[in-house]
Chains A and B, each alone.
Chain A
Amino acid sequence: MDIGKRVAREEDWIQGATGDWEIVLGLEVHAQITSKAKLFSGSSTEFGAEQNTHVSLVDAALPGMLPVINRVCVEQAVKTGLGLRAQINLRSVFDRKNYFYPDLPQGYQISQFKHPIVGEGEIEIDLPEERVEKIGIERLHMEQDAGKSVHDMHPTMSHVDLNRSGVALMEIVSRPDMRSAEEAQAYVRKLRTILRYLGTCDGNMEQGSLRADVNVSVRRPGGELGTRCEIKNVNSIRFIGQAIEHEARRQIEILEDGGKIDQETRLFDPKTGETRSMRSKEEAHDYRYFPDPDLLPLELQQEDVDRIAASLPELPDEKKERLMTDYGLSAYDATVLVSDGARADFFEEVAKGRDPKLAVNWVNGDLFGALNREGHSLEASPVSAKQLGELLDLISDNTISGRIAKDVFDSMYKTGRNAIEIVEKEGLRQVTDTGAIEAAIDEVIAANPDKVEQVKTKPKLAGWFVGQVMKATSGKANPQLVNEILAKKIDIPSED
């Protein structure tokens, strides 16, 4: 089936006054290529510098200045194309997209219009309940970023900073294959994960390294495509969801009122959660694309592409497969792990020579629970993979119980100390001495003859005895031993 023809699941339909609608979404993601210097000049790409201090003569479009392409940016684009399982075009051409804007010093943006460096590809997005959808990639091309206009420094003037002008971007254009805000968000997440695995974009949406233009249209489920609106420069995954929801409802309202959608560019306002028409675009754009005569066609050798292909890291989907096969993880656990390459690496280090199920529960559960609670990144985790592994070893060799391990972990997280150190210092070693456990059990039995009677008819009460024994041993008694000895001492009927 042509994935572009997919109809949304019924639960994703939007109920209008006149019936159901489905959303059709395509995304153009602008991803800043990770590089030291800009696409066509030797200026730094570093974020956050003082205005116009990362601007070369070329970036400021001084007369007679010429662009020279950055080799690494080209390689990064190829790498990304390969990561998207896309076709790499050995010959691509840079075009000029002509329009006037103060943050566009040349009066044109150098982009790739007719012959992009990367052609068709595909990615799989991961949705709740282990639903996976294939989203088509139409193309990827390289282009220059624009500068920035600051509008709030003066009542009637704008201030222009060209630091970003000329920074290399990849524009990754999807097919209109998404059918809900959730899918669009999953697409951006997955794309971001792939880019980060590849090291071709840091995916930092707050700094604008990744932003999306969202094309939204609505139609009757499975019906003819509607007219789309493009929402420009949405810079967080949450906003992408909000913008789509709002825009779809806006379009449905217009259509249900008998109106028609104008194809236009809109802006999302995070303050109101709404989209609005861009005022500056009153005239239809005519970009007058033509091949940039300052640049020659970009010719790549197949060997170069092969070399880059050979250097590709393991990508999320492959890693997920492997984690499921090699460690017997569930699809869910594996998906969670590979959403961040560092997280998967962390897991693998912890799981090495240990019980993978125990490892994944601790990594995805306890560790990430704590990191999220404390707002820490994995890089800043106070507990290293080695340390977490040592804790797991203490559980496996019965030095501590799983219950005590939680306390030990909390202490490790707070202090950064090793598990064994905490266990020794705080005397948390599990009691495996049967004599000591027996003594504790005898004490409990002697003190509670009524309970001993009751347990004969109420087998569930056995747990109460275990609890009392654990209490008496400050939780350090080996629960398995407690159960075994208890069963010998009192008569507990089987539960069925």
Chain B
Amino acid sequence: MSVDQNTVRHIARLARIAVRDDELEHLAKELNSILDWVEQLGELDTSDVEPMTSAVETTMKMREDEVTFGNLQDEVTRNAPASEDGFYVVPKVVE
């Protein structure tokens, strides 16, 4: 499963990271060397193996249905690069 420059461009797009065209070749090479190396897992027959779902053997604890927070508008917006009247502000989104 070799990664070409178009694939790098595509995954960079999915990951929302701008990548310059002149970086593509280098990145493709790097990603390929890592992917080639992890390929060795293919040696193992895992057809009868259940995937690990959690590193901890316990059942999931649940929260009661209680409102435990009041108004945190300031706390959640104070670090925002742009905000106004308690809203986060972003470049216009077109639907």
Q: Return chain B residues, CB-CB under 8 Å to A299.
A: 59-60
Q: Return chain B residues, CB-CB under 8 Å to A93.
A: 53
Q: From residue B11, how far is it (CB to closest CB) to chain A in Å?
A: 9
Q: From residue B80, how far is it (CB to closest CB) to chain A in Å?
A: 9
Q: Return chain A residues, CB-CB under 8 Å to B77.
A: 52
B71 touching A53, Cβ below 8 Å? yes
Q: Return chain B residues, CB-CB under 8 Å to A74.
A: 62
Q: How far is the CA of A100 from the CA of B16 in the complex (A)?
A: 8
Q: Return chain A residues, CB-CB under 8 Å to B86.
A: 50-53
Q: How far is the CA of A244 from the CA of B27 in the complex (A)?
A: 47
Q: How far is the CA of A494 from the CA of B68 in the complex (A)?
A: 80
The yes or no answer to B13 lying at the interface (CB within 8 A) is yes
A57 touching B67, Cβ below 8 Å? no
Given contacts A102-B88, A297-B54, contact A286 B14 (CB under 8 A): yes
Q: Which residue of B lies closest to A94 (CB)?
A: B60
Q: How far is the CA of A158 from the CA of B66 in the complex (A)?
A: 32
Given contacts A41-B69, A50-B86, A52-B87, contact A297 B93 (CB under 8 A): no
A295 touching B60, Cβ below 8 Å? yes
Q: How far is the CA of A162 from the CA of B93 in the complex (A)?
A: 15
Q: How far is the CA of A291 from the CA of B51 in the complex (A)?
A: 11
Q: How far is the CA of A50 from the CA of B61 in the complex (A)?
A: 31
Q: From residue B82, how far is it (CB to closest CB) to chain A in Å?
A: 8
Q: From residue B13, how far is it (CB to closest CB) to chain A in Å?
A: 7
Q: Return chain B residues, CB-CB under 8 Å to A37.
A: 63, 65-68
Instruction: Name A's interface SS.
Output: loop
Q: How far is the CA of A57 from the CA of B43 in the complex (A)?
A: 44
Q: How far is the CA of A56 from the CA of B63 in the complex (A)?
A: 15
Q: Which residue of A lies closest to B63 (CB)?
A: A68
Contact with B along A131-161 (1 / 0, CB 8 A): 0000000000000000001110111111111
Q: How far is the CA of A299 from the CA of B61 in the complex (A)?
A: 10
Q: From residue A168, how far is it (CB to closest CB) to chain B in Å?
A: 10
Q: How far is the CA of A288 from the CA of B13 in the complex (A)?
A: 13
Q: Which residue of A lies closest to B93 (CB)?
A: A158
Q: Which residue of B lies closest to A73 (CB)?
A: B65
The yes or no answer to B84 lying at the interface (CB within 8 A) is yes
Q: Return chain B residues, CB-CB under 8 Å to A288.
A: 14
A60 touching B76, Cβ below 8 Å? yes
Q: Return chain B residues, CB-CB under 8 Å to A42.
A: 63, 66-69
B60 touching A102, Cβ below 8 Å? no
Q: Return chain B residues, CB-CB under 8 Å to A72.
A: 64-65
Q: Return chain A residues, CB-CB under 8 Å to B68.
A: 37, 42, 56
Q: How far is the CA of A60 from the CA of B60 in the complex (A)?
A: 23
Contact with A along B67-95 (1 / 0, CB 8 A): 11101110111000010111111111111
Contact with A along B14-35 (1 / 0, CB 8 A): 1010000000000000000000
Q: Which residue of B lies closest to A159 (CB)?
A: B87
Q: How far is the CA of A298 from the CA of B62 in the complex (A)?
A: 10
The yes or no answer to A69 lying at the interface (CB within 8 A) is yes
A55 touching B72, Cβ below 8 Å? yes
A158 touching B65, Cβ below 8 Å? no
A297 touching B88, Cβ below 8 Å? no
Total chain A interface residues with beta-carbon distance under 8 A: 56
Q: Which residue of A lies closest to B82 (CB)?
A: A157
Q: Return chain B residues, CB-CB under 8 Å to A162.
A: 76, 88
Contact of B88 among A41, A43, A159, A298 (CB under 8 A): A159
Contact of A157 among B64, B65, B73, B90 (CB under 8 A): B90
Q: How far is the CA of A280 from the CA of B64 in the complex (A)?
A: 38
Given contacts A156-B91, A296-B56, A298-B60, contact A51 B67 (CB under 8 A): no
A160 touching B88, Cβ below 8 Å? yes
Q: How far is the CA of A314 from the CA of B63 in the complex (A)?
A: 29
The yes or no answer to A411 lying at the interface (CB within 8 A) is no
The yes or no answer to A62 lying at the interface (CB within 8 A) is yes
B91 touching A296, Cβ below 8 Å? no
Q: Return chain B residues, CB-CB under 8 Å to A358.
A: none
Contact of A279 among B66, B84, B94 (CB under 8 A): B94
Q: How far is the CA of A160 from the CA of B87 in the complex (A)?
A: 5
The yes or no answer to A278 lying at the interface (CB within 8 A) is yes
Q: Which residue of B lies closest to A67 (CB)?
A: B63
Given contacts A100-B16, A283-B13, A297-B53, contact A150 B62 (CB under 8 A): no
The yes or no answer to B58 lying at the interface (CB within 8 A) is yes
Q: From residue B67, how far is it (CB to closest CB) to chain A in Å?
A: 5
Given contacts A69-B63, A279-B95, A295-B60, contact A51 B87 (CB under 8 A): yes
The yes or no answer to A44 lying at the interface (CB within 8 A) is yes
The yes or no answer to A71 lying at the interface (CB within 8 A) is yes
The yes or no answer to A322 lying at the interface (CB within 8 A) is no
Q: From residue B93, how far is it (CB to closest CB) to chain A in Å?
A: 5
Q: From residue B17, how far is it (CB to closest CB) to chain A in Å?
A: 11
Q: List residues of A (215-252) whose CB comes within 8 Å of B's CBs.
A: none
Q: Taking beta carbons and an 8 Å cutoff, which residues of B are in contact with A?
A: 13-14, 16, 53-54, 56, 58-69, 71-73, 75-77, 82, 84-95
The 9 closest A-B pairs by CB, nearest first: A42-B68, A72-B65, A159-B87, A296-B60, A71-B62, A60-B76, A160-B88, A53-B71, A56-B69
Question: Apart from A37-B63, A42-B68, what are 4 other A-B pairs with CB-CB below 8 Å?
Answer: A57-B72, A74-B62, A151-B93, A156-B91
Q: List 7 A-B contacts (CB under 8 A).
A: A36-B66, A42-B63, A56-B68, A69-B62, A161-B87, A280-B95, A298-B60
